């Protein structure tokens, strides 16, 4: 689950959802027998509204959680690469091991933690992600250019903590270990930046 457990939401989602359900149920009851076509149209509309509210609640819950706040803190550094805060969190957890990037994305996109890069659930959720606010509202979070830049970043930045510890042990000091961290991360940032900026021109 997410922490903190108790989130101060911008609106009372539960009350709003209950109110919408009540309103739609009244309409559905009145047209159920008289107009079957209208009934299914209203039912579809109701499900869409409820789903949108539930997604908005979940998105706000994630953003206001501790992990969301960390992601938003580093987001300005990753924004020139076209990355959002969820990608940032995935990259941070990838420091432990790069395969953790995928499982982190599975959690953040509500696809489950026990998934891999071939998971259709995760692929579908990533493909459907759009920005819900700001100047990019409605735009896809993952475009081919951004996805390619993200892959390049993951491939280039330092492998994992175990490798850094091994470098320190073999070299006898932290100098080369720290150099590896900063050099590979800087190179990854630069490559992803070039990919995004040039790719955005076309």
**Could you list the pLDDT tens digit for every one of the 202 residues in the chain?**
566 767 788 889 999 999 999 999 999 998 887 888 889 999 999 999 998 888 778 778 877 888 888 888 999 999 999 999 999 999 999 998 888 898 888 878 765 555 555 666 778 888 888 887 777 777 888 999 999 999 999 999 988 899 999 999 999 999 999 999 999 999 999 999 999 999 998 8
The pLDDT score that the predictor gives to residue 1 is: 52
pLDDT, position 104: 86
Between CA 161 and CA 194 the distance in angstroms is 27
Whether residues 98 and 46 fall in one domain: no
* Cβ-contact 172, 125 below 8 angstroms: no
Task: Say whether pTM exceeds 0.95.
Answer: no
Q: Quick one: 33 and 124 in the same domain?
A: no
Q: Which residues contact 177 (CB under 8 A, 6 or more apart)?
A: 164, 165, 167, 168, 171
**Residues linked to residue 151 through DSSP beta bridges, in sequence order:** none
- Asked if the structure places residue 56 within a domain, the reply is yes
Q: What is the pLDDT of residue 138?
A: 79
106 in the same domain as 31: no
Same domain, 53 and 17: yes
**Structural domain contains residue 116:** yes
Please report whether residue 109 resides in a domain: yes
Kindly state whether residue 50 falls inside one of the protein's structural domains. Answer: yes
User: 37 with 95, same domain?
Assistant: no
Domain count, the chain: 2
* Residue 145 · residue 83 · CB < 8 Å: no
| Among 144, 160, 151, CA closest to 188 | 151
Same domain assignment for residues 89 and 188: yes
With H, G, I as helix, E, B as strand and everything else as coil, classify residue 159: coil
* Residue 29 structural domain: 13-63
């Amino acid at each position: 689950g997410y922490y903190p457990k108790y989130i101060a939401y911008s609106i009372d989602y539960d009350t709003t959802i209950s109110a919408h359900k009540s309103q739609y149920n009244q309409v559905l009851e009145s047209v159920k027998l008289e107009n079957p076509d209208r009934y299914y149209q209203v039912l579809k509309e109701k499900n869409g509204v409820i789903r949108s509210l539930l997604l908005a609640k979940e998105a706000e819950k994630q953003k206001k959680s501790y992990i969301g706040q960390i992601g938003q803190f580093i987001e300005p550094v990753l924004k020139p690469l076209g990355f959002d805060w969820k990608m940032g969190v995935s990259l941070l957890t990838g420091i432990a091991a790069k395969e953790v990037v995928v499982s982190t994305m599975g959690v953040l996109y509500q696809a489950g933690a026990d998934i891999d890069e071939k998971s259709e659930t995760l692929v579908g959720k990533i493909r459907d992600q759009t920005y819900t606010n700001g100047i990019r509202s409605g735009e896809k979070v993952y475009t081919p250019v951004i996805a390619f830049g993200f892959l390049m970043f993951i491939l280039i930045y330092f492998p994992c903590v175990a490798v850094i510890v091994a470098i320190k042990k073999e070299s006898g000091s932290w100098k080369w270990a720290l150099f590896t961290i900063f050099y590979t991360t800087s190179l990854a940032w630069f490559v992803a930046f070039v990919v995004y900026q040039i790719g955005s021109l076309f």
